[in-house]
């Protein structure tokens, strides 16, 4: 069975099972996910070394009654080339488990091409509930949760970075530790008072949740990058601009080639409107 998935071990109908894995604390793995992984004919994962440690833990917790299932690496660079073969194996009865290094697969992780291939072929896809850094960070942030969005890893710089993170809704994003200071500074340049939460190492021993304004966090992380996995949550803000003429003027400057941030600042100086409110209003109408 090593290397290739054969017919299902229990004779069950083949399927792709999406398996969320702990984001730090192994105790957060569910019994259903553990059973799906240990009974799989093949486990697809980003890093076989990391997932191998998880599977070894599950085998030990199971009393060693079952062997560790075969693994195969599935990542952004090799996924498309494996889809047809994997779909065929699942269609022949194999139970294939898909997991990422941590958290719920497909959330800024590989797997979408495989899921789409299975759906197109009429192969059953089952998703199990489980850990997600996005939901944990959102829950602990103290920011509004009735309307929110997730943007993955935002652009590194420029208007694209600010556009991705500033919205009328609460926004959740992943960020590289070395980029946190620059990201906070970019937000602060547009709206220094915007509330932001930086959550790192969630569920782990050194978990830390830092809340404050964009300006305060930009100062905090200017010369000291946080360590570990980072998820940021940015408060939403409704645009409060009553002057339609100011919004239109800002839009015209943007159409003429100006950046949204600079156009909003110019019009704000001339009209007295809030620059960040103009900025948000223009983005919401694009």
8 Å CB contact between 282 and 247:
yes
Q: What digits encode the pLDDT tens for the residues 30-71?
A: 999 999 999 999 999 999 999 999 999 999 999 999 999 999
Q: What digits encode the pLDDT tens for the residues 244-265?
A: 888 999 999 999 999 998 998 8
Percentage of residues in the chain with pLDDT exceeding 70?
94
Higher pLDDT, 44 or 2: 44
Task: Indicate the average pLDDT of the chain.
Answer: 91
pLDDT of 2 strictly over 80: no
pLDDT of 162 strictly over 80: yes
Distance between CA 217 and CA 202 in Å, rounded?
18
pLDDT of 11 strictly over 60: no
CATH numbers and ranges of domains, the chain: 15-127 (3.40.1010.10), 133-234 (3.30.950.10), 244-284 (no CATH)
If pLDDT is split at 50, 70 and 90, which confidence band does 16 have?
A: very high
User: What pLDDT score was predicted for residue 119?
Assistant: 97
Give CA torsion, residues 133, 25, 57, 94, to 10 deg.
Answer: -20
Q: What digits encode the pLDDT tens for the residues 111-141?
A: 999 999 999 999 999 999 999 999 999 999 9
């Amino acid at each position: 069975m090593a290397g290739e998935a054969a017919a299902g071990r229990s004779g069950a109908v083949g399927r792709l099972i999406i398996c969320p894995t702990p984001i730090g604390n192994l105790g957060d793995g569910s019994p259903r996910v553990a059973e799906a992984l240990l009974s799989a004919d093949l486990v697809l994962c980003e890093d076989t070394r990391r997932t191998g440690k998880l599977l070894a833990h599950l085998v030990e917790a199971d009393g060693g009654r079952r062997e560790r299932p075969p693994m195969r690496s599935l990542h952004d660079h090799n996924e498309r080339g494996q889809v047809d073969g994997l779909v065929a194996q699942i269609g022949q009865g194999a139970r294939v488990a898909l997991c990422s290094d941590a958290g719920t697969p497909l959330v800024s992780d590989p797997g979408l091409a495989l899921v789409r291939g299975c759906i197109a072929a009429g192969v059953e896809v089952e998703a199990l509930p489980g850990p997600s850094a996005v939901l944990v960070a959102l829950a602990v942030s103290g920011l509004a949760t009735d309307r929110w969005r997730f943007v993955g890893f935002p652009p590194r710089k420029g208007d694209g970075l600010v556009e991705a993170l500033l919205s009328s809704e609460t926004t959740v994003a992943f960020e590289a530790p070395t980029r946190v200071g620059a990201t906070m500074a970019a937000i602060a340049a547009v709206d220094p008072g915007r509330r932001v939460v930086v959550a790192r190492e969630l569920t782990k021993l050194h978990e830390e949740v830092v809340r404050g304004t964009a300006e305060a966090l930009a100062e905090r992380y200017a010369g000291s990058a946080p360590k570990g996995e980072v998820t940021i949550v940015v408060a939403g803000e409704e645009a409060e601009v009553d002057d339609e003429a100011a919004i239109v003027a800002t839009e015209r400057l943007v159409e003429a080639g100006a950046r949204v941030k600079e156009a909003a600042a110019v019009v704000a100086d001339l009209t007295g409107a809030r620059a960040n409110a103009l900025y948000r209003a223009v983005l919401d109408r694009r």
